[in-house]
Amino acid sequence: MRRIHVMAAVIRDAERRILIAKRPDDAHQGGLWEFPGGKLEPGESRLEALQRELHEELGITVQQARPLIDLQHNYPDKHIRLDVWEVSEFTGTAHGAEGQPVRWVTEHQLPSYAFPAANQPIVAAARLPQRYLITPDCAATEVLQGIEHAIDAGISLIQLRQTQLDIQDYEALCEQVLQRYGARATFMLKGDQPPADRRAGWHLTSRQLRAMCEQPPPTRPLPAERWLSASCHDAEELQMAERLGVDFAVLSPLLPTASHPEASPLGWEQAHAMLNNCRLPVYLLGGLTGDDLAAAHNAGAQGIAAIRGLWNQP
């Protein structure tokens, strides 16, 4: 079986817009939009290949880049590795050096463009931040203060957990949080049913995920325009999350944690092996802080999820 290693890039400008390019009409999946890149050549490092391809295709020189998501696809006659990096700094003016149309778009505009099906996890990864905050169990006033502090610190994806509350009190707090902060951050809510407020996404427990996948074929319980995520603890649950069509997953526990001392940690090596066979953006959870972001990226993760590691951090 042929093995093909393809580099691709989510390129951001100073305004955080993302560059996309249109495939030639006569090419495979012609007329669709894609993220620029090309094949890794023998003897090249991944970064060298990315720099060469983007210079040839767009006339830019990459200054700063990091791994974003690594996707594996098996076909009857070949194995494709789609190795996607985020480019945050470059020199030169990006243009279609090979005659291809290019366009700068915002994260919110990305879903309105037609991409190949294999690119959909990249679209999600490009729209998701590096940090996913999970709120701790505490009084409502402390939750509101902590969320305010987190948003001011640049955190834009927050799971409202609050396991100490009954259903009515939790729903009341969710409504208060969304009214106050819904325009400033994306909130993932918990519960037995999808959140009624369309501004919020739904985070599934691993038990909910398994229950939904027991009834074939698994059907995504939210429309595509709303975020759906799931907690996973092993490779089987990651595969279930893929089949259900979630937008991103959380894999835990990576390291020993005070909140779940009885859980057996995965460790970096095992987590990397699981992510290597996953076609979703995945956050690593368990004993991590912002200092672990680079290690998480190198392991193939979208970033980190945390309670203590991100709550009330400077």
Q: What is the dihedral of CA 215, 221, 223, 228, to 10 degrees?
A: -110
Q: How far is CA 51 from CA 120, 261, 297, in A?
A: 23, 44, 19
Does the annotation list 201 as a binding residue?
A: no
Q: Judge whether 123 lies within some domain.
A: no
**Rounded average pLDDT over 135-161:** 96
Query: Which residue, 89, 29, 95, is CA-closest to 65?
Result: 89
Question: 129's torsion region: left (phi>0), alpha (psi -120 to 50) or beta?
Answer: beta
Q: Judge whether 229 lies within some domain.
A: yes
pLDDT tens digits for 11-67? 999 999 999 999 876 667 778 999 999 999 999 999 999 999 999 999 999 999 999
Check pLDDT > 90 for residue 82: yes
Does the annotation list 290 as a binding residue?
A: no
Q: Judge whether 120 lies within some domain.
A: no
Does the annotation list 34 as a binding residue?
A: yes
> To 5 degrees, how large is the angle CA 173–CA 150–CA 136?
50
Q: What is the CATH number of the domain that holds 32?
A: 3.90.79.10
Q: Judge whether 121 lies within some domain.
A: no
Helix H or strand E segment including 53 = helix 46-58
Give yes or no: residues 56 and 174 share one domain: no
Task: Work out the mean pLDDT of the chain and round it to a whole number.
Answer: 93
Give yes or no: residues 253 and 294 share one domain: yes
pLDDT of residue 80: 87
Give yes or no: residues 298 and 266 share one domain: yes
pLDDT of residue 74: 80
- Residue 275 lies in domain: 131-306
For residue 264, how many other CB atoms are within 10 A of its CB?
Answer: 9
Q: How far is CA 39 from CA 6, 137, 310, in A?
A: 4, 48, 37
pLDDT tens digits for 201-216? 999 999 999 999 998 8
282 neighbors 249 (Cβ within 8 angstroms): yes
- The total of structural domains in the chain comes to 2
Q: Judge whether 213 lies within some domain.
A: yes
Helix (H, G, I), strand (E, B) or coil at 48: helix
Q: What is the CATH number of the domain that holds 174?
A: 3.20.20.70
Give the HSE-up count for residue 135: Cα atoms under 13 Å, Cβ half-sphere: 33
Q: Which residue do the tokens 């057996």 mark?
A: 264
pLDDT of residue 259: 67
Does the annotation list 171 as a binding residue?
A: no
pLDDT tens digits for 233-290? 999 999 999 999 999 999 999 998 766 667 789 999 999 999 998 999 999 999 999 9
Does the annotation list 23 as a binding residue?
A: yes
Q: Which residues of 187-202 are buried (b: 16+ CB within 10 A; e: fewer)?
A: bbbbbeebbebeebbb
Above pLDDT 90, what percent of the chain? 85
251 neighbors 233 (Cβ within 8 angstroms): yes
The token pair at 72 is 């594996």
Does the annotation list 44 as a binding residue?
A: no
Q: Judge whether 122 lies within some domain.
A: no
Gap between the Cα atoms of 135 and 119, Å rounded = 31
Give yes or no: residues 294 and 228 share one domain: yes
